[in-house]
Structure 1
Amino acid sequence: MILCDIGNTYIHFCDKYRIWKNQPERIDKEKLYADIYYISVNAENEKKLLKAYKNSYNIAKIIEFDTSYEGLGIDRKAACLGVNDGVVIDAGSAITVDVMHEGKHQGGYILPGLVTYTKAYKQISSALDKQINFGISLEEMPLDTRSAISFGMLKSIVSCIGDTIRDKKAYFTGGDGKFLAKFFKESIYNEMLVFNGMQISIDRALNKHKEKE
């Protein structure tokens, strides 16, 4: 069994403890023979997976997650399932932040991802088309354009997330999760977070099925 998380930019796979990702247009380059159980936030990328691998099954219906949040993404539900108390941050194309307390979802919000931020600056002016300086200090005022962009981008994200975390534990996942986690003392980076939630849902569904037999 292979688990699959279909995002807007990449399609992520998990075979037990091995995780890898492929660009949607290149997933048919790899031969996968096991059944694939997936969730998806991108319909077009989902079609590409189904075209490449006929033995793929959407498990969104078995992911049970109690929340009052309308329209919560299936990937966010999966990520939150494995956290009883704390803040769940999935930093990908967008940065989603969700708060869990005693196993209950308290709500959450969405920020632009780092790549999305850089594209926004570029749209303002070609002079702002700069790469992120990942080594910048957030304690000193910038003295050049690249640093100014990087500072504004990271400071706004870190400050917003920090205001939510406060004294809670923070669980980071996603492509930029490991980088963002370093700004917070009480942080844990877990690239398996979404896949853990998917596995929890599969196990629960199997147990319910056994109980009915």
Structure 2
Amino acid sequence: MHDLALILELDVGNTAIKWRRLNGAVILDSGRIANELEGLKELVGAGVCLVRVASVAFAEREAELRALLVGAKVKYEFAVSQAECAGVKNGYDDVSRMGVDRWLAMLAAYNSCRDACVIIDAGTALTIDAVGKDGQHHGGYILPGAGLALRALEQSTGRVRFGIAESADTGLGKNTDACVHNGKWLGLVGAVKLALYEAEKQIGRHYKVLVTGGDGMNVKQLAGEYAESWHYSRDLVLDGLALALAKA
């Protein structure tokens, strides 16, 4: 394939960077690297003509990323949250306060189904957003994700100590390890179920549920029959980049 169309898309979080390369609209390859910018140099230098970026990283890390892209002499575009784009109308009064990852996931989700939908992104944070059939964003929730919940317990309690979980479960625990790890999943799944109940008051009972994020599949699986119709999409945030950065 011709390298002149090679595009690199980045989803830069606070714990990892997801990437994928495209030739036009065709995905060539993808991956995930630790949140170290050194790992991006080879990707950026491999014939890429454009880099699209979604970043929720700290300001210092984002400045380092911009410097890397400038140094590589490659064209780049950073997505930002908008008042309206691709049929979706932002529900925030101050759209600059919305994390761009949530915005991009909403754009991708709504444009994939063109119907009322709830977007669940289970990553470092658990975010849940509701979009009506007309594309109006009705609001959402931001909660600590699984890893943050564990760190909060570890750092804020003197005697709650636990190891690494062997599997994802929501059953009653019979030792501290199981109580903590099963409890973190219980909290996430329970929050999602209640969020859907609240969302129905705004967008009605007929809607799609789209799940993404590193812990998204665990949340879907643990919700059991309740989540049979949910759709898991690994790259919703990256899928929204082209929509947000499309030229009018």
Deviation at 1:83?
Answer: 2.4
Number of residue-to-residue matches in the alignment: 203
Distance 2:39 2:128 in 1: 29
Alignment of 1:2-151 (within 5 A): 2-16=8-22, 17=27, 18-25=29-36, 26-32=38-44, 33-34=47-48, 35-42=50-57, 43-54=59-70, 55=74, 56-60=76-80, 64=85, 66-69=89-92, 70=94, 71-84=97-110, 85-102=116-133, 103-123=135-155, 124-125=157-158, 127-136=160-169, 138=170, 140-151=171-182
Distance 2:130 2:77 in 1: 29
Deviation at 1:145?
Answer: 0.8
CA contact (8 A) 1:9 1:24 kept: yes
Distance 2:43 2:30 in 1: 15
Distance 1:163 1:90 in 2: 15
1:149-169 per-position Cα deviation (integer Å, ceiling 9, x unaligned): 122211111011012235643
CA gap of 1:185–1:73, structure 2 versus 1, over 3 A, is same
| Deviation larger for 103-112 or 52-61 | 52-61
Amino acid corresponding to residue 79 of structure 2 in structure 1:
I
Amino acid corresponding to residue 202 of structure 1 in structure 2:
L
1:128 is paired with a residue of what secondary structure?
coil
CA contact (8 A) 1:99 1:108 kept: yes
Distance 1:29 1:3 in 2: 14
Distance 1:192 1:28 in 2: 18
CA contact (8 A) 2:105 2:240 kept: yes
2:32 is paired with a residue of what secondary structure?
strand
Q: Which ranges in structure 2 are unaligned for 5 or more consecutive residues?
A: 1-6, 111-115, 198-204
Amino acid corresponding to residue 149 of structure 1 in structure 2:
V
- State the Cα RMSD in Å: 2.2
- The runs of at least 4 aligned residues of structure 1 exceeding 6 Å deviation read none
Confirm whether residue 193 of structure 1 aligns to residue 236 of structure 2.
Answer: yes
Q: Which ranges in structure 1 are unaligned for 5 or more consecutive residues?
A: 209-213
Distance 1:50 1:131 in 2: 36
Amino acid corresponding to residue 139 of structure 2 in structure 1:
G
Alignment of 1:162-201 (within 5 A): 162-166=193-197, 168-182=207-221, 183=223, 184-201=227-244
Identity of aligned residues (%): 26
Distance 1:143 1:61 in 2: 45
Deviation at 1:28?
Answer: 4.2
Deviation at 1:39?
Answer: 2.1
Distance 2:43 2:107 in 1: 30
